Amino acid sequence: MHPTSGLWASFSQAVVSEGQSDAPRLQGQWALAWRRLKRDRVAVGCGIFLLVLVFAVGPGAPLYEKIVGHGPNDFFPYAVSVGLRPAGPFTVTWDTQLMSGDDPFALKHPDPPKGTPRTLLLLGADSQLGRDEFLRVLYGGRVSLTIAAGAALVAILIGIVLGAVAGYFGGWIDALISRVTDLVMAFPLLLFLVMIGSLFSYGLTDWTFHGLINQGVFQLVLIIGAFTWFYPARIVRSQIMSLRQKEFVEAAQMVGARDSRIMRTHLLPHVLPLLLAYGTLLVATNIMIEVGVTFLGAGIKLPTASWGSLLAQTWGSILNPNPYNPVTTTPWLTLIPSIAIFLTVFSLNQFGEGLREATDPRSVR
Amino acid sequence: MVGYALRRVGIAIVLLWILSVVTFVIYLKVPADPAGFIVDIQKATPAQVAQAHHILGTDRPAVVQYEKYMVRLLHGDLGLSWPTVVFFNGQVRGASVGQMVWKAALVTGALVLGGFVLLLLIAVPLGTFAATRPRSLIDRLTLGLSVAAISTHPLVVGLLLQLFVGNKWKLLPASGYCTVSTPSKASITAWERFAPTGTQKPCGGMGEWAWHLLLPWITFALFFVALYMRIVRARMLEVLEEPWVRTARAKGASEFRVIRVHVLRNAIAPIVTMTAMDAGMAIGIAMYIETVFGLPGLGRTMIRALAGLQGYDLPVILAVTVVAAAAIIVLNLVADIVLLAIDPTVARRGRGMQKSLGRAS
């Protein structure tokens, strides 16, 4: 769909193209939204942070891997100190996976043979295995963001179809769809996600699209999407319900346009900006859901890193928890993923909020 | 108005029925063979497996099974936990799922209820304070804090509180659950003799119970407090505009009395009913908190049943789902009807105060 579609946009474009220099310059809704968004300093800051984040977890992760010369699943025994405490941030460790010395269970090991290179662990080691925490946060962010964005897309697609049908046709179809959304909304979402995620897989966990996404991602995308579509559905429904009373819909019906055409070309462009803003908020929610579901043992499985599995790895599962131990537990391993989750969710929420205000035609700014 | 209430009751009943169908379909479709709990699947002959299915009742047609399931459900019988089923003297014996789930539901109930009480104790004064001084430093500060709180994962809050308050600084118990009643001598002896090291000593009594639940309650309250504070504030600002507030002020009532008697009382009622509507989300949050703090609640019971070494304990999983969802449906119904009693115009408008997104859990 062309970004400046919609009745209002085409009208304003027509006015602009006439080239009246002294007439007030009318802009398309997207240009207007962009101008409003630029004025919202918090939203701009969050948007920049999100761009940096997407770059960091996308091309940035393999780039950083090239620079430091080790992968997210390589382990460094020398990054785990006496008493099995993982090293803290800014650790330089021996770049070897072999432990020197005769006794592998000794507390202190002699240094590796001369000539062993050293390597940097920017945020320290991730566990007793001594993997690079920073790389795992980057790759984990990739998995978490993929799941969150994918699930939001699935939810919005289902929401558009069901919401548009319910809002446009009304009557018993609307009643049925509304009842179903009420039903799904009333249920404890997390309970269902954990249950469905553990009970049913149908081999979906192994769908990686030729290595494009990690194992388990596709399944989680589908499950989360299938249980969160009711938010976009409600929005689309209420918007379309108020729009279909408008004159331009009547006009379109009068000239004989089909229902599907009215919905596609006359109604959806009005809902799209709002959906974009809501989609951003949905991504934030989905990150929280992914973290929760993975922590509860129904999401991404180790050794694949995700922000949820980083937390789960530190604290263990219900059946074999890693209890707190003052010698081996380091707060970094809880703090680092927590901060990553917080910053991302915060930025998404604020950016989505700014987007919603900027695209709202009733907004005064 | 009565019609509206009746319609709501009817919808609730239909929802409960749909719930029973959904759980039964899940039960039928789950790729788990319960026969493995009675016989060793690898070594058993097909006849033995068939016998096991006969004992468990899983060889009958789906319709018959559904009928039995419904009859039992209506009698409050949730079946037997599969891993504990034994075939003894021609009878099937095992641990009752109903009792297991009931105990777990009490723990979750205590967590959620106490959490909501603590939440209202924090949110109502703060929200009132912010509403009476709009755009003051406190107001803006609470707004900023609530924005941050909305973006914080309850799991993260729980883990950090447990790590620092519970374990590092040792201010409050970091995990474990104590029963309200004091534990029997026998259970303490059993713990001394048989419990593996690291298992928590059985504890009990009102004081211990509340003391151990304090950190979970705080976690729960912290997650919701921002949202509720904003809602209290918005409601208060709305009510402050009402003519009766102006009348009360004109009559010379003190500001404290105006807020307490005329504003707060009118602003607070819908907020209390809102807690019932949030029950679904609360049970989800409770799942995180139970996992982090090791409370034997509904969520933890279900995850244990999902992750059991012998396979899924389906009756427990489904019972937790049924109990949690039924509680939510009933609580929503109660909230609807209480809201109707407070404000009869709801019947015409439909229930208002739809909450924003960004909070599903």
| Displacement of CA A81 from its chain's centroid (Å) | 35
Residue B86 lies inside a defined structural domain of this protein: no
Which amino acid makes up residue A348?
A: L
Distance CA B315, CA B54 (A): 17
**Would you say the C-alpha torsion B258, B260, B261, B265 has a positive or negative sign?**
positive
Task: Out of B31-35, B196-200, B345-349, pick the least confident.
Answer: B345-349
Residues 289 through 308 of chain A touching chain B, CB cutoff 8 Å: 289, 291-292, 295-298
Distance from CA of A180 to the nearest CA of B (A): 10
pLDDT in tens, B91-120: 777 788 888 888 888 999 999 999 989 988
In a domain, B313, yes or no: yes
* B246 CB-near residues (< 8 Å, 6+ apart): none
Q: Which residue has the tokens 């929420």?
A: A349
B220: Cβ contacts below 8 Å, ≥ 6 apart: B111, B112, B114, B115, B116, B118, B119, B154, B282, B285, B286, B289
- Say if B117 falls within a structural domain: yes
Domains in chain A: ranges and CATH: 51-57+133-359 (1.10.3720.10), 75-131 (no CATH)
Question: Which residue, A176, A174, A173, A162, is CA-closest to A228?
Answer: A162
On whether residue B192 sits in a domain, the answer given is yes
- State the pLDDT at residue B235: 84
- For residues B55 and A228, the answer to whether their CB atoms sit within 8 Å is no
Instruction: Give the domain extent around B115.
Output: 98-360
pLDDT at B82: 76
Q: Where are the extended beta strands (E) located within chain B?
A: 86-88, 91-93
Of the pLDDT bands very low, low, confident and very high (cuts 50, 70, 90), residue A152 is: very high
pTM for the structure as a whole: 0.83
pLDDT band at A320 (very low <50, low <70, confident <90, very high): low
Residue B169 belongs to domain with CATH number: 1.10.3720.10
Q: Is A47 in contact with A68 (CB distance < 8 Å)? A: no
Q: Write the CA distances from B262 to B234, B242, B251, B266, B340, integer angstroms.
A: 16, 10, 13, 7, 20
User: Contact at 8 Å (CB) between A293 and B361?
Assistant: no
Q: Which residues of A touch B155 (CB under 8 A)?
A: 291-292, 295, 311
Residue among A285, A296, A326 whose CB faces B358 most closely: A285
B151 with A342: Cβ contact below 8 A: yes
Task: Inform me whether the pLDDT recorded for B252 exceeds 70.
Answer: yes
pLDDT of residue A103: 65
Distance CA B212, CA A151 (A): 37
The length of chain A in residues reads 365
Average pLDDT of every residue of chain B: 80
Total domains, chain B: 1
Within a domain: B84: no
Q: In the predicted model, what is the mean pLDDT of chain A?
A: 77
Question: Which residue among B160, B167, B288 sits closest to A292, beta carbon to beta carbon?
Answer: B288
pLDDT of A177 over the 90 cut: no
Contact B65, B29 (CB under 8 A): no
Q: Is B267 exposed, middle or buried (0-12, 13-18, 19+ CB in 10 A)?
A: buried
* Cis amide leading into A303 (omega within 30): yes
Q: Is residue B29 part of a domain?
A: no
Across the range A324-337, mean pLDDT stands at 79
Name residue, tokens 């494009």.
Answer: A212
Q: Return the amino acid letter for B27.
A: Y
Q: How far apart are CA B82 and CA B84, in angstroms?
A: 5
Confidence of residue A6 (pLDDT cuts 50, 70, 90): very low
In a domain, B349, yes or no: yes
Query: Which one-letter amino acid corresponds to residue A152?
Result: A
In this structure, is residue B24 part of a structural domain?
Answer: no
Please indicate whether residue A298 or residue A99 has the higher confidence score (pLDDT). A298
